[in-house]
């Protein structure tokens, strides 16, 4: 098969329930629920991620992260549209400043994949587009606040942005002397490893910043040699590569899976950073796990693995000065 570029892979995602079920040989009985769920939050999955799923298995742990369900339509008390209350710390379009010393920039509303558990399924992206006016306002905000040392590119997925635009933004940021660190939060290398071209790696690694990339993989099946190659290109540029995962019922809520996740991450040079409990966003309640279960799993993980392979179990509680550790 001819190799497709990341741009092609990104623009030709599978985006209907019918097409997803067909390419995985899954039964039509899943269609009705998938149609219902996809009306609330569209289905979207890139081919390289589908390639890591097992055909004919409706319980595949990667499939379950992306297949819409009728259960998403349920109203569950406590599961809301803006669980992180981000609209409160959103002083400018595209900028969230909650924690000391670091700001999060929403570079792109688009993701390469739509994860059913994501709190951003309800985020008002359309009003957070970064045009040149908004970008100038952000630069002025950063220039004026000398306590900010780190800029976090987030989204959506920041790597859905073109290399040219990333490069332009980075050089604008480099001109602000008190900025020292750059962080990129992205799931793209996991779902389309082809995105990490040698060029992109050298753009991201070629600044004066100390740079980290935080990937997002939840299950060991998401990690393979293609991702490993991408990580190598980043590491050759001196970029530190970390991973954050979300604890998801029916996907990675058992000890063996979490052990295998940490071990495969490290095998490819990635360090586990956070294991987040689910944000209580409307439509995702069926992924939720009680805190006691999460804490118990984390303790078991600690008993099994070296400390550097145990991610911090945390959650985001609005109005706190950092993520909140559960254990």
Ligand X SMILES: *Cc1c(COP(=O)(O)O)cnc(C)c1O
| Region of 22-30, 106-114, 167-175, 192-200 interacting with ligand SF4 (CB under 6 A) | 106-114
- Both structure tokens of 240: 């530190």
**Residue environment code for 168-181, b if the CB has 16+ CB neighbours within 10 A, otherwise e:** ebbeebeeeeebee
Minimum CB separation of residue 191 from ligand SF4 in Å reads 7
Distances, alpha carbon 164 to alpha carbons 161, 169, 194, in Å: 8, 9, 17
The listed partner (ligand X, ligand SF4, none) that binds 102, CB under 5 to 8 Å by sort, is ligand X
The listed partner (ligand SF4, ligand X, none) that binds 38, CB under 5 to 8 Å by sort, is none
| Region of 44-52, 160-168, 260-268, 315-323 interacting with ligand X (CB under 6 A) | 315-323
Distances, alpha carbon 61 to alpha carbons 181, 249, 257, 274, in Å: 34, 10, 10, 19
Instruction: Pick between residue 115 and residue 179 the one whose CB is nearest to ligand SF4.
Output: 115
Residues 130-159 that bind ligand X (CB under 6 A): 152
Using the Cα atoms of residue 170, residue 173, residue 179 and residue 184 in order, give the sign of their dihedral.
Answer: negative
Pattern 186-215, ligand X, x by CB under 6 A:
------------------------------
Instruction: Pick between residue 187 and residue 286 the one whose CB is nearest to ligand SF4.
Output: 187
Instruction: Pick between residue 15 and residue 93 the one whose CB is nearest to ligand X.
Output: 93
Distance CA 234, CA 127 (A): 32
Residue pair 187/157 in contact by the 8 Å Cβ criterion: yes
157 binds ligand SF4 (CB under 6 A): yes
Among 52, 97, 120, 195, binds ligand SF4 (CB under 6 A): 120
Would you call 274 helix, strand, or coil by DSSP? strand
Residue with tokens 């892979």: 9
Q: What are phi and psi of 154, to 5 degrees?
A: -135, -160
Would you call 104 helix, strand, or coil by DSSP? strand
- Both structure tokens of 170: 């980075």
Instruction: Pick between residue 250 and residue 318 the one whose CB is nearest to ligand X.
Output: 318
The listed partner (ligand X, ligand SF4, none) that binds 152, CB under 5 to 8 Å by sort, is ligand X
| Footprint on this chain of ligand SF4 (rule: CB under 6 A) | 111, 113-115, 118, 120, 155, 157, 187, 216
| Footprint on this chain of ligand X (rule: CB under 6 A) | 96, 98-99, 102, 104, 152, 316, 322-323
């Amino acid at each position: 098969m001819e190799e497709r570029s990341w741009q092609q892979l990104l623009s030709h995602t599978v985006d209907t329930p019918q097409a997803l079920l067909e390419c995985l040989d899954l039964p039509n009985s899943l269609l009705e629920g998938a149609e219902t769920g996809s009306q609330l939050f569209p289905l979207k999955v890139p081919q390289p991620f589908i390639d890591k799923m097992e055909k004919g298995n409706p319980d595949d742990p990667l499939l379950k992260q992306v297949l819409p369900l009728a259960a998403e339509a349920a109203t569950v008390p406590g599961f809301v549209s803006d669980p992180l209350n981000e609209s409160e710390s959103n002083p400018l379009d595209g900028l969230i400043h909650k924690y000391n010393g670091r700001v999060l920039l929403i570079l792109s509303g688009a993701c390469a994949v739509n994860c059913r558990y994501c709190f951003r399924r309800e985020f008002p992206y359309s009003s957070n587009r970064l045009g040149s006016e908004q970008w100038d306002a952000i630069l002025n905000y950063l220039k004026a606040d000398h306590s900010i040392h780190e800029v976090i590119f987030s989204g959506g997925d920041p790597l859905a942005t073109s290399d040219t635009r990333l490069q332009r933004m980075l050089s604008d940021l480099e001109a602000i002397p008190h900025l020292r660190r750059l962080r990129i939060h992205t799931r793209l290398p996991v779902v389309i490893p082809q995105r990490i071209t040698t060029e992109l790696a050298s753009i991201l690694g070629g600044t004066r910043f100390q740079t980290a990339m935080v990937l997002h993989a939840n299950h060991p099946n998401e990690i393979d040699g293609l991702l490993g190659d991408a990580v190598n290109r980043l590491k050759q540029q001196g970029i530190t590569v970390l991973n954050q995962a979300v604890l998801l019922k029916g996907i990675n809520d058992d000890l063996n899976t979490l052990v295998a996740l940490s071990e495969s991450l490290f095998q490819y040079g990635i360090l586990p950073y956070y294991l987040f409990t689910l944000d209580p966003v409307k439509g995702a309640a069926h992924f939720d796990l009680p805190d006691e279960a999460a804490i118990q799993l984390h303790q078991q993980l600690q008993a099994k693995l070296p400390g550097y392979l145990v991610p911090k179990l945390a959650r985001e509680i609005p109005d706190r000065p950092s993520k909140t550790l559960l254990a």
